């Protein structure tokens, strides 16, 4: 059974992204359920308007709703005191692909700091940079890509669990952060 707070979070993230003028493909949205373990994962990809298919710049968002968090939420929903708040593990990977030359890693590091505060309750920590190359021998061409992964944990307070507007206020800055980061990545490396 899906907990409604997870579905509310998906809805709030969609609204935040739409308000920030980012585009999302329906094909790039997935809800994965571990049948044996019970964990639920949500994944979606976003890009700035006007990107070709596949996009050269995009943000991949994921969050994991663990069985522990599901149990804590259900106990609270059934009237028990919230002893340890449920949380969502969130990940964002900013991706730049199909580059003709190797990207400037120092420039990417300057553009994407080790820690990014997104609103009042989310702080994303950068997990490093990943640079890869793909060689097409028949064309004699090499494509480069760059990925900048971030991780954060969103702890859901009683106020967030009981009032969708409080949850929305906590997550709204995520859309603006994704949009400004994608525009910065595009401006720095594609123009």
From CA 47, how far away is CA 33, in angstroms rounded? Answer: 25
pTM score:
0.89
- The three-point CA angle 45-187-180 to 5° equals 50
Which of 103, 187, 112 lies closest to 144, judged by CA? Answer: 103
Phi, psi dihedrals of residue 41, rounded to the nearest 5°: -120, 140
CB 153 within 8 A of CB 88: yes
- pLDDT tens, N- to C-terminus, the chain (191 residues): 445 788 888 899 989 998 999 998 656 788 888 988 889 999 999 999 988 888 999 999 999 999 999 999 989 989 998 888 999 999 999 999 988 888 888 888 889 999 999 999 999 999 989 999 888 777 678 889 999 999 999 999 999 998 889 999 999 999 999 999 999 999 988 87
From CA 190, how far away is CA 33, in angstroms rounded? Answer: 37
Other CB atoms within 10 A of residue 80 CB: 10
Copy the structure tokens of residue 71. Answer: 């149990």
């Amino acid at each position: 059974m899906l907990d409604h707070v997870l579905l509310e979070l998906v809805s709030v993230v969609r609204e935040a992204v739409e308000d920030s003028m980012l585009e999302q493909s329906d094909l790039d949205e997935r809800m994965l359920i571990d049948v044996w373990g019970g964990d639920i994962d949500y994944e979606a990809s976003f890009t700035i308007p006007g990107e070709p298919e596949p996009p050269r710049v995009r943000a991949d968002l994921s969050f994991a709703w663990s069985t522990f968090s599901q149990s804590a939420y259900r106990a609270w929903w059934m009237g028990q005191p919230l002893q340890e708040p449920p949380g969502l593990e969130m990940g964002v990977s900013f991706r730049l692909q199909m580059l003709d030359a190797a990207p400037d890693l120092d420039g990417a590091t300057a553009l994407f700091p080790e820690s990014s505060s997104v609103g009042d309750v989310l702080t994303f920590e950068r997990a490093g940079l990943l640079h890869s190359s793909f060689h097409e021998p028949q064309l004699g061409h090499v494509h480069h890509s760059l990925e900048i992964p971030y991780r954060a944990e969103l702890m859901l307070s009683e106020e967030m669990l009981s009032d969708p507007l409080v949850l929305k206020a906590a997550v709204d800055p995520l859309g603006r952060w994704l949009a400004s980061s994608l525009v910065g990545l595009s401006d720095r490396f594609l123009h």
